[in-house]
Amino acid sequence: MFLSAGEEIKKTLPKKPDTIVLKPLHTLLIILSAVLGGLLFGYITGKGLTLDSGLFLTFIVAITVGQVVYNILN
């Protein structure tokens, strides 16, 4: 069985990745929630309101919020 395992791997074909289809309303909702999430984070913590490393942290939070909203919509 061990020696024939390689043949089984050759027989299986990789699947095509799923295509991402975004509707215009979903895109608008994702972008709006990401911007609002970043602004809310910047307002509450005081980080990201000036041009320093806090701006990068606020950007990461905005991306995370957008990804969460995208996963919720799907």
The predicted-structure confidence for 20-66, as pLDDT tens digits, reads as follows 777 889 999 999 999 999 889 989 988 777 778 888 888 999 999 99
Quick one: how many helices (H) and strands (E) in the chain?
A: 3, 0
* C-alpha of 45 from chain center: 22
Distance from C-alpha of 19 to C-alpha of 67, rounded to nearest angstrom: 16
Rounded average pLDDT over 7-30: 80
Length of the chain: 74
Hunting for tokens 């395992």 — which residue is that?
Answer: 5
